[in-house]
């Protein structure tokens, strides 16, 4: 009888094995084919003539069919592009010259929007796009009180319904102008209350001057951009009968083939059965090698694991039937990792913290923020909206509500909790708590810092209050440097140092915030190789070009922050002349041309105070050192902090900018005018750790 039972058991296990093997093999193969098919055809058409090809992709397709930042929405004959929180109408796409023509919807019929709120400067993602030589900036002036004293530039009037002297949301005067020449702009700024810059075609301006067109056509016909990403790999993929795609995990292009996913081109055999995207185990040193070996190994592992599970399940059923016992397995199979601990915490009904951080329920935070009332909004970050709230114990808090459409929000959530949980520094924002990962939403709870950001006070909503005198600005620089030194000593790179992430308390003391992009930096390595992520205008050019993240990347960003503190200008401003869009370029140019005084904010009154003038110029010299394009030439954050302390104590030995020997050709321009206020490239989950020599 015992032998007969064994035969039945073996037959049962064999059947289960065959069923599982066949099911897994066919399912994985079908998944790969589905990716290839879902990105067909190579191009689609919107309306009568707008052809959408990679890197662009229609939002109705999976996101791996196109490059991040190139998503388009087609509705009828209308095609729109979302960029930098603005919407643009796409008028033309030329896939041969890599150019597209776009316009702002509010100007589709001319320069007269319905309300003032529609008047916004054009912001573009200069990590992906650049202006072509066919475009130039025009300035539209509204609510002008009279005609200028000079020969009047081109004027226009808006419909009667567009202005109302008694309304704050509409225009108060029908007198408006468009100006190209700088002398007109200077004159119009004296008599007009509103101005915005809008890119236009140079040919349209020429036709306007010659009387061959009107202002409506000038603004409605838009302007031309060129996309600047490298598409050579895509062409190779298409040449091998593949379809171009993008791996958001590794943040790089891939080739979707009929039998699998490859790095560059479709191989003629051994497709990557069952891998929806390139495996995290991809060999980064040999990017042209497909990942068949790793994937086949993974596939075999999946099949073997599943079959083993089926056998164990069969044995369990068999012995349960024979002995009428419930067999329980106990004990983990290996040491828990950070993520497994986090997951296990969420499953534990008695858990009260993550990594020592208090767990708060969604309902508690919903009540604290008055159901996330829009009136409680403090501002929007890169990964979520921040709300003011008051807990039941009376604590004022800032609650970050991670965006639902952020597919990496769980990773950023855990990253910020893990990093902030063990940090204690007077100039770092405190993390009070968070929700469980099984909560209705992912929420992070910080101490409330009431005085806004440094950006608000330098060039934002609080700039006109004039609260940041020079001693306060120097203290902000010193305290921020102290916080960054502490982070670097803790093997953490902030990676998004900018004035928007420097909070100020009621005494204008610094609280460095927003650690969603920060990285724990392993010991005994010189850098981490990872896709660039952060805010354009602050990004280390070597990090942007070579994908190598080091502590010196924070130093570069801090140099931009110093430039903002002495100038009160934003890090990126497309309304400035082309060479000065990036603030770091402007600073170095002013130093090179011995015109630093033009760069410094007149509000600081440095011309009348020799002590302030000396300190500001010393800080400018330090900023120059931090902004060196070669990271080895930059100081460490410890050296930066020491020098700032010396400047405060009047013991600084740094050369003032006039004494720095700068070659005429030194002023470095970032490639592709990398500029706009906030765009980020998806981070790679694969890191290459480069050991120190001798390790």
Best mean pLDDT range from 32-41, 104-113, 482-491: 482-491
Bigger pLDDT: 667 vs 81:
81
Concatenating the DSSP letter of every residue in 225-271 gives: EEE-S--HHHHHHHHTT-EEEEETTTTEEEEEETTEEESSS--SS--
Q: How confident is the model at residue 643 (pLDDT cuts 50, 70, 90)?
A: very high
Rounded CA gap, 88 and 105, in Å?
Answer: 6
Computed on alpha carbons and rounded to an integer, the radius of gyration of the chain in Å comes to 29
Q: Greater confidence, 445 or 675? A: 445
The per-residue pLDDT for 618 is: 95
Backbone phi, then psi, for 315, in 5-degree steps?
-60, -40
Query: What is the band of 350 on the pLDDT scale with cuts at 50, 70, 90?
Result: very low
User: Bigger pLDDT: 334 or 70?
Assistant: 70
Poorest-pLDDT segment among 128-142, 425-439, 563-577: 425-439
Q: Exposure of 644 by Cβ count < 10 A (0-12 exposed, 13-18 middle, 19+ buried)?
A: buried
CA–CA distance, 610 with 35 (Å, rounded to integer): 66
CA distances (Å), origin 601, targets 297, 349, 567 = 61, 56, 5
Q: Residue 509 has what pLDDT?
A: 95
Residue 11 has pLDDT above 70, yes or no: no
For residue 172, CA distances in Å to 117, 127, 157, 168 come to 14, 38, 12, 8
**Which pLDDT score, from 0 to 100, does residue 248 have?**
80
Instruction: Please state the rounded mean pLDDT for residues 268-278.
Output: 38
Minimum mean pLDDT range among 9-18, 431-440, 622-631, 672-681: 672-681
Q: At residue 465, does pLDDT exceed 90?
A: no
Could you give the C-alpha distances from 440 to 364, 435, 687, in angstroms and in order? 12, 9, 31
Its pTM surpasses 0.95: no
Q: What band does 655 get if pLDDT is binned at 50, 70 and 90?
A: very low
Confidence of residue 578 (pLDDT cuts 50, 70, 90): confident
Dig out the tokens for 176 from the structure.
Answer: 């408006």
Closest CA to 499 of 408, 418, 567, 598: 567
pLDDT score for 541: 76
d(CA 425, CA 299): 47
pLDDT of residue 181: 82
Looking at residue 380, what is its pLDDT? Answer: 74
What angle (nearest 5°) sits at the alpha carbon of residue 35, between those of residues 32 and 39? 150
Q: How far is 391 from 450, CA to CA, in rounded Å?
A: 16
In this structure, of 163-167, 194-198, 314-318, 620-624, the range with the lowest mean pLDDT score is: 163-167
Q: What is the mean pLDDT of residues 553-557?
A: 92
Give the model's pLDDT for residue 481.
96
Residues 409-416: what's their mean pLDDT? Answer: 75
Rounded-to-integer distance, Cα 469 and Cα 460, Å: 16
First to last CA, the chain: 63
DSSP-derived secondary structure letter, 682: P
What pLDDT shows up at residue 686? 29
User: Residue 125: exposed, middle, or buried by beta-carbon count in 10 A (0-12, 13-18, 19+)?
Assistant: buried
| 428: DSSP letter | B
Integer Cα distance of 651 and 207 in angstroms = 60
- Residue 409 banded pLDDT, cuts 50, 70, 90: low
Q: How far is CA 193 from CA 111, 182, 398, in A?
A: 16, 17, 35
Per-residue pLDDT at 282 exceeds 50: no
Do the beta carbons of residue 542 and residue 631 sit within 8 Å? yes
Strands (E), 54-128: 57-58, 71-75, 78-83, 86-94, 99-103
The better pLDDT of the pair 599, 689 is held by 599
Query: Can you tell me the mean pLDDT for 33-56?
Result: 85
Residue-level pLDDT at 526: 39
Query: According to the model, what pLDDT value does residue 186 have?
Result: 85
Most confident of 304-318, 414-428, 680-694: 414-428
The stretch 55-78 carries a mean pLDDT of 90
Look at 45-59, 327-341, 650-664 and tell me which has the smallest mean pLDDT.
327-341
- Provide the pLDDT for residue 550: 83
Q: What is the mean pLDDT of the chain?
A: 75
Catalytic residues: 496
116 contacts: CB under 8 Å, gap ≥ 6:
142, 169, 170, 171, 194
Buried b (16+ CB within 10 A) or exposed e, 155-169: ebebeeebbeeeeee
Please name the residues in contact with 376: beta carbons below 8 A apart, sequence gap of 6 or more.
Answer: 369, 370, 387, 388, 389
Binding positions for ATP: 400
d(CA 570, CA 561) in angstroms, rounded, equals: 9
| CB neighbour burial string for 420-429, b if at least 16 within 10 angstroms, e if fewer | beebebebbb
Q: Give me the pLDDT at residue 316, please.
A: 65
**Least confident residue range of 63-72, 255-264, 388-397, 595-604:** 255-264
Residue that the structure tokens 């409506």 belong to: 216
pLDDT band at residue 353 using 50, 70 and 90 as cut-offs? low
pLDDT for 675 equals 35
Task: Give the DSSP letter string of 516-559.
Answer: TT-EE--TTEEEEE----S-TTTS-HHHHHH-EE-HHHHHHHHH
Average pLDDT over residues 214-225: 92
Q: Percent of the chain at pLDDT above 90? A: 28
pLDDT band at 92 (very low <50, low <70, confident <90, very high): very high
Q: Which helix (H) or strand (E) holds 478?
A: helix 470-489
Q: Higher pLDDT residue, 68 or 27?
A: 68
Residue 291: what pLDDT?
A: 39
> Average pLDDT in the 371-400 region?
87
Question: For 257-274, what is the mean pLDDT?
Answer: 65
User: What is the mean predicted confidence (pLDDT) over 173-185?
Assistant: 84
Range 348-359 average pLDDT? 61
Query: Strands 396-402 and 223-227: what pairing?
Result: unpaired
* pLDDT of 458 higher than 50: yes
Nearest Cα neighbor of 622 from 643, 605, 603 is 643
pLDDT digits (tens, 9 = 90+) for 363-378: 999 999 999 998 998 8
Mean pLDDT computed over 290-311: 52
Strand 252-257's sheet: what is its strand order? 243-247, 252-257, 260-262
pLDDT digits (tens, 9 = 90+) for 124-177: 888 889 899 999 888 999 888 888 876 666 888 877 555 555 555 567 777 888
pLDDT in tens, 496-554: 899 999 999 999 999 998 875 555 544 343 334 344 455 777 777 776 565 667 888 89
Binding residues: 400
């Amino acid at each position: 009888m015992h032998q007969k039972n064994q035969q039945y058991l073996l037959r049962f296990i064999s059947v289960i094995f065959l069923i599982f093997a066949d099911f897994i093999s066919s399912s994985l193969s079908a998944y790969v084919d589905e990716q290839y098919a879902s990105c067909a055809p190579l191009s689609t058409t919107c309306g009568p003539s707008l052809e959408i090809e990679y890197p662009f992709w229609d939002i109705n397709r999976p996101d791996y069919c196109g490059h991040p930042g190139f998503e388009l929405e087609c509705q009828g004959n209308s095609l729109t592009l979302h960029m930098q929180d603005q919407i643009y109408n796409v008028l033309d796409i030329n896939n041969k010259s890599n150019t597209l023509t776009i316009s702002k919807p509010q100007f589709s019929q001319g320069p007269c929007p319905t309300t003032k709120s529609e008047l916004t400067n054009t912001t573009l993602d200069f990590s992906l796009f650049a202006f072509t030589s066919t475009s130039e900036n025009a300035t539209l002036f509204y609510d002008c009180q009279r005609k200028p004293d000079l020969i009047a530039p081109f004027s226009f009037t808006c419909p009667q319904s567009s202005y109302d002297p008694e309304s704050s949301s509409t225009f108060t005067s029908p007198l408006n102008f468009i100006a190209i020449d700088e002398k007109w702009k200077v004159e119009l700024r004296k008599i007009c209350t509103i101005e915005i810059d809008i890119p236009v075609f140079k040919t349209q301006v020429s036709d306007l001057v010659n009387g061959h067109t009107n202002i409506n056509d000038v603004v409605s016909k838009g302007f031309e951009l060129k996309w600047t990403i490298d598409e050579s790999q895509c062409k190779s993929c298409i040449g091998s009968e593949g379809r171009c795609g993008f791996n958001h995990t590794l943040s790089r292009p891939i080739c979707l083939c009929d039998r699998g996913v490859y790095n560059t081109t479709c191989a003629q055999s051994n497709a990557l059965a069952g891998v929806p995207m390139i495996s995290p185990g991809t060999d980064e040193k040999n990017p042209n090698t497909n990942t068949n070996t790793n994937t086949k190994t993974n596939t075999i592992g999946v099949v073997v694991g599943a079959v083993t599970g089926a056998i164990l399940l069969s044995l369990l059923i068999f012995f349960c039937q024979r002995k009428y016992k419930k067999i329980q397995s106990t004990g983990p199979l290996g040491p828990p990792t950070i993520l497994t601990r986090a997951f296990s915490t969420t499953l534990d009904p008695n858990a009260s913290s993550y990594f020592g951080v208090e767990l708060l329920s969604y309902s508690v935070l919903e009540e604290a923020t008055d159901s996330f009332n829009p009136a409680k909004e403090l501002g929007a970050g890169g990964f979520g909206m921040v709300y003011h709230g008051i807990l039941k114990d009376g604590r004022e808090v800032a609650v970050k509500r991670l965006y639902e459409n952020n597919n990496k929000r769980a990773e950023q959530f855990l990253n910020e909790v893990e990093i902030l949980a063990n940090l204690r520094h007077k100039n770092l924002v405190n993390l009070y708590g968070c929700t469980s990962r099984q909560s209705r939403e992912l929420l992070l709870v910080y101490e409330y810092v009431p005085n806004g950001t440094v950006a608000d006070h330098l060039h934002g909503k609080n700039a006109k209050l004039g609260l940041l005198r020079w001693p306060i600005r120097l203290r902000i620089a010193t305290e921020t440097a102290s916080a960054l030194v502490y982070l670097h000593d803790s093997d953490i790179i902030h990676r998004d140092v900018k004035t928007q992430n420097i909070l100020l308390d009621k005494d204008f003391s610094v609280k460095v915030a927003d650690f969603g992009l920060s990285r724990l930096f392993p010991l005994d390595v010189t850098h981490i190789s990872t896709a660039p992520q952060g805010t354009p205008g602050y990004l280390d050019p070597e990090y942007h070009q070579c994908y190598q993240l080091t502590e010196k990347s924070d130093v570069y960003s801090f140099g931009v922050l110093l430039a903002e503190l002495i100038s009160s200008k934003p890090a990126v401003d497309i309304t400035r002349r082309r060479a000065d869009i990036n603030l770091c370029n402007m600073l170095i140019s002013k130093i090179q041309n011995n015109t630093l005084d033009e760069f410094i904010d007149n509000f600081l009154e440095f011309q009348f105070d020799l002590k302030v003038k000396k300190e500001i110029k010393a800080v400018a010299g330090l900023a120059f050192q931090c902004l060196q394009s070669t990271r080895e030439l930059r100081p460490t954050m410890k050296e930066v902090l020491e020098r700032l302390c010396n400047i405060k104590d009047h013991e600084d030995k740094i050369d003032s900018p006039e004494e720095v020997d700068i070659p005429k050709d030194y002023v470095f321009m970032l490639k592709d005018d990398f500029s706009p206020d906030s765009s980020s490239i998806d981070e790679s989950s694969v890191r290459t750790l480069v050991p120190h020599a001798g390790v």
